[in-house]
Chain A
Amino acid sequence: EAQVTQNPRYLITVTGKKLTVTCSQNMNHEYMSWYRQDPGLGLRQIYYSMNVEVTDKGDVPEGYKVSRKEKRNFPLILESPSPNQTSLYFCASSSRIEANQPQHFGDGTRLSIL
Chain B
Amino acid sequence: GEDVEQSLFLSVREGDSSVINCTYTDSSSTYLYWYKQEPGAGLQLLTYIFSNMDMKQDQRLTVLLNKKDKHLSLRIADTQTGDSAIYFCAERPDTGRRALTFGSGTRLQVQP
Chain A interface residues toward B at CB < 8 A = 4, 33, 35, 40-45, 48, 56, 58-59, 90, 92, 97-100, 102-108
Contacts and interface: CB of A to CB of B under 8 A. Distances in A.
Interface residues of B, number: 27
A91 to B, nearest CB: 9
Given A99-B31, A100-B50, A102-B33, A56 B92 contact: no
B42 A45 contact: no
B105 A42 contact: yes
Given A102-B45, A107-B41, A43 B30 contact: no
Interface string B3-45: 0100010000000000000000000001101010000111111
B88 A48 contact: no
